[in-house]
Amino acid sequence: MVQEHFAFVRSDMLPEAPPPAAETGIVKWLRENLFSSTANGILTVVSVLVVYQIVTSAAPWFFNGVWDSPSLTACREILDGKTGGCFAVLSERWNQLLFGFKYPSELYWRPGLAFVLLFIAAAPLLFGNIFPRKMLIFTGLYPFIAFWLIWGGPVSTPVFALLGVLFGAFVYTKMVKTSAGIAVVVSFVAALVFWIVSGYLSGPFANVMALEAIPSRDMGGFMINLMLGVICVSLSIPLGILLALGRQSSMPIIKWICVVFIEFIRGVPLITLLFVANVVLAYFLPPGTNFDLILRVIIMITMFSSAYIAEVIRGGLAALPRGQYEAGDSLGLDYAQSMQLIILPQALKISIPGIVNVAVGLFKDTTLVSVISMFDIVGMIRGPILSSAEWNGVYWELFGFAVVLFFITCYGISQYSQWLERQLQTEHR
């Protein structure tokens, strides 16, 4: 037989040999990711050295940190020449950093509660598919509740404000059949009339469920940054939509009003607008009117961010294929309906990353109010805390705290927007 000519025939399979040591596990990963070429090897070694330097110099500063001491000199005595951070300034002054130095400390629960409720109010907007739609009712009520909690005063103020909005909305639903544009104007006027009338009626309610009123100049710290950020972004989104639609409009006068407004606001730095709020705006108001700096700042920042949001939304509108507009027309929808039902839902979806970018940028820019001597977190650090006798010279702990607060907020928002983008990704890729 043929087989007999062979000295050896293997009848069973060899066991699998393990891959070469350099091609498995951590060694392979290191080779591919850190030492794939000479240049990469050098880069890796340099980076490791840099990281090592930073960690070894920062670690003792963190671990030797003093959390309990009345002043910087006392803290230095406790440290006794060692490297270490005086985090005592944070445990001592956290309330000033967060709420400002005048907000009464026994009332911290009010802005605190408003902050917690913010998450409940925002949840159905941010995670629409998880939370029930009924929670949107609370979202609608939230601005009035938050106003009452933070500024205090009689409960009638926010209630009448709310009733005015509801009255306006009622008028709008009655009028919208005739013409959407006219309905908007009329309902706005109706709400305005309601507010003015209710201003005269609110006298008897002045002591009903009145919280202690806090003037806005007593507010400060990170609270101001959050308030400005939330208020201005939420006000500027509807304004931005209107401006964007106006800029796309075929009516030349409306178009040019919007273009000039947007380009002017985008062309000047926010700081000049804050100067306007601080020193110039009073000249343009009827003599004798004197409203808060914070309200003037809110107006200017809202104008600022609505111009930027308008540009983002215009990008979204321009990205829609022409067929979508024509589809709306061919269904016989009027302008308001086709915008509301067809164009805006798609355009806003495309614009979400841009809007979030603007929102994050705006939130960071709220620190600029420290330049016009408002005591936001940066103003608190530079003003009352660093110039106090106890804590003169504690820079890194304070700036580090501010950096951490802003980083957590802004990074969180941008991560959310990336998540949302993936959620809204409806086309197949």
Partner 1 sequence: MTTMTDPPKASFQLSMLIYDTRYRSYTFQFIALALLIALMAFLGINLIKNLAEQGQDISYSFLGEPAGYDINQRPIEYDSQSSHMRASVVGMINTLIVAFLGCITATIFGVTAGILRLSPNWLVRKLMAIYVEAFRNVPVLIWILIIFTIMTAVLPAPNAFRGDNATSSMFLNSVAFTNRGVYIPTPIWGPGSMVVVLTFLASVFGVFYYRHYATKLLYDTGKLLPTGWPSLAILVVPTLLMFFILGRPIALDYPALKGFNFQGGLHIRGSLIALWFALAIYTGAFIAENVRAGIQAVSKGQTEAAASLGLRPKRIMNLVILPQALRVIIPPLISQYLNLTKNSSLAIAVGYMDLTGTLGGITLNQTGRAIEAILLLMLFYLTISLAISAVMNVYNNSMKLKER
Alpha helices in 12-108 (DSSP H): 25-33, 38-63, 72-79, 88-99
CA atoms of 148 and 313, how far apart (whole Å): 32
24 binds partner 1 (CB under 8 A): no
Piece in contact with partner 1 (CB under 8 A), picked from 46-54, 70-78, 98-106, 158-166: 46-54
CA atoms of 169 and 163, how far apart (whole Å): 10
Of residues 178 and 209, the one with the C-beta less far from partner 1: 178
Structure tokens at 30: 């290191």
Per CB under 8 A, contacts with partner 1 among 115-174 are none
Q: Total residues contacting partner 1 (rule CB under 8 A)?
A: 59
267 binds partner 1 (CB under 8 A): yes
Structure tokens at 114: 């408003």
Of 104, 90, 97, the residue nearest 370 (C-alpha): 97
Instruction: Write phi, then psi, for 376 (nearest 5 degrees).
Output: -80, -165
Per CB under 8 A, contacts with partner 1 among 273-332 are 275-276, 279-280, 282-287
Separation in Å, CA 138 to CA 84, 132, 153: 47, 11, 21
Quickly count helices (H) and strands (E) in the chain. 17, 0
Of residues 68 and 334, the one with the C-beta less far from partner 1: 334
205 binds partner 1 (CB under 8 A): no
CA atoms of 405 and 366, how far apart (whole Å): 13
The CB-of-46 to partner 1 minimum distance in angstroms stands at 9
Amino acid residing at 132: P
3 binds partner 1 (CB under 8 A): no
CA 345 to chain centre: 21
Piece in contact with partner 1 (CB under 8 A), picked from 32-40, 80-88, 210-218, 293-301: 32-40
393 binds partner 1 (CB under 8 A): yes
From 27, 268, 318, 424, residue interacting with partner 1 (rule: CB under 8 A): 268
Contact residues: partner 1, CB under 8 A: 32-34, 36, 40, 43-44, 47-48, 50-51, 179, 181-182, 185, 250-254, 257, 263-264, 266-272, 275-276, 279-280, 282-287, 360, 364-365, 367-368, 370-371, 378, 382, 393, 395, 399, 402-403, 406-407, 410-411, 414
